[in-house]
């Protein structure tokens, strides 16, 4: 049996420990920075492939008749045509929940950087400046206390729920809009509201849902216009949830106070993206999932997914 590991980009080579997978399938070849046109040739006659940020569609599957298993090195399935995989008899397994705590932590890393500007003050002090001597060019904002503010969450899976716990620890009132309200949420101390109320009441709105036909473009011009003037929008989920052109316009008009994002519609973020020039946008390169602990969880579950598939069952198969 042969396996291939394909990654469109990684943070650093060696971040992911593939020893568990290679113990199960010694004939494993790894590639980084794999472009779309390289996917099928690199898979070749392999039966197993692991993908990160690489597309898997009908055209690729037609060129890889031996393929039986696709392991997504992530939670989201946005880049795969699951129906086409099913038609070709290819099982697809994802890795749910591996980065829950890391992504929730990044959400508040962005928020704290926005409301207290620690890294900007750090630059100013190291440049020899102090308090009222700091010029406007450093992009400082009036500091904001989170206690008593309203923190809105769209999507209440494991990451949204953990983010809510952190927000409550800061003394924030938490509003949630989610498709399904489960009985176990009753003890969480949050309030469930319609989307319109979430937009209208939130001082900070954080997105924690997958990109689906219903959520793509969720935060467009119409939704942004319904938010509190000067509110903060955070996106550590999926770039497709946000109309980045509309966000840029809302930042420039002042309707949106600040945008913090770790996910973008096109990645890497294009050089000509207007967000790059926005002083009220705080952008990170989709790294919330890359803590040491999250990467270890990722590889542990990835290896278990393969092992259970080889044993005849398969864990976390998303296209049965």
Q: In 3D, which of 11, 97, 23 has the Cα closest to residue 52?
A: 11
Among 8, 208, 238, 280, the active-site one is: 238
The answer to whether the beta carbons of residues 27 and 2 sit under 8 Å apart is yes
Tokens of 175: 């509003």
Catalytic residue check, 238: yes
Whole-number CA gyration radius for the chain: 21
- Kindly compute the dihedral angle of the four CA atoms of residues 45, 317, 54, 159, in this order, to the nearest 10 degrees: -160
Q: Which residue is catalytic, options 58, 119, 222, 267?
A: 267
Q: Which of 208, 280, 286, 316 is catalytic?
A: 286
Residues 6+ apart with CB under 8 A from 75: 94, 95, 96, 97, 98, 99
Q: Is 267 a catalytic residue?
A: yes
- Encoded tokens for 172: 């924030």
Q: How far apart are CA 237 and CA 220, in angstroms?
A: 16
Active-site residue flag, 286: yes
Of all residues in the chain, what percent are helix, strand and coil, respectively (each to 5)? 40, 20, 45
Classify residue 116 by burial, with Cβ atoms within 10 Å: 0-12, 13-18, 19+: middle
d(CA 250, CA 221): 8
Catalytic residues: 238, 267, 286
């Amino acid at each position: 049996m042969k396996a291939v590991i394909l990654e469109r980009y990684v943070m650093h080579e060696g971040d992911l420990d593939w020893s568990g997978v290679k113990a199960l399938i010694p004939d494993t070849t790894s590639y980084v920075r794999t472009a779309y046109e390289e996917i099928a040739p690199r898979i070749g006659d392999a039966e197993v492939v692991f993908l990160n940020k690489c597309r898997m569609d009908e055209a690729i599957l037609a060129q890889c008749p031996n393929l039986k298993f696709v392991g997504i090195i992530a939670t989201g399935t946005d880049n795969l045509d699951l129906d086409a995989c099913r038609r070709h008899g290819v099982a697809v397994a994802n890795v749910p929940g591996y980065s829950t705590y890391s992504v929730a932590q990044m959400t508040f890393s962005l928020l704290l950087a926005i409301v207290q500007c620690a890294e900007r003050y750090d630059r100013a002090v190291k440049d020899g400046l102090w308090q009222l001597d700091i010029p406007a060019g450093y992009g400082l904002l009036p500091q904001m206390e989170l206690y008593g503010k309203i923190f809105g969450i769209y999507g209440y899976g494991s990451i949204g729920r953990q983010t809510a716990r952190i927000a409550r620890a800061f003394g924030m009132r938490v509003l949630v809009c989610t498709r399904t309200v489960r009985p176990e949420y009753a003890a969480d101390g949050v309030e469930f509201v319609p989307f319109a109320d979430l937009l209208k009441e939130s001082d900070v709105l954080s997105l924690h849902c997958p990109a689906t036909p219903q959520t793509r473009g969720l935060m467009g011009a119409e939704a942004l216009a319904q938010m509190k003037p000067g509110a903060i929008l955070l996106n550590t989920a999926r770039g497709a949830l946000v109309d980045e052109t509309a966000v840029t316009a809302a930042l420039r008009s002042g309707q949106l106070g600040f945008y913090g994002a770790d996910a973008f519609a096109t990645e890497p973020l294009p050089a000509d993206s207007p967000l790059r020039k926005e002083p009220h946008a705080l952008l990170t390169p989709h790294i919330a999932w890359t803590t040491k602990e999250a990467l270890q969880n990722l590889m542990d579950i990835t290896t278990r997914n393969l092992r259970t598939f080889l044993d005849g069952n398969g864990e976390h198969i998303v296209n049965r």
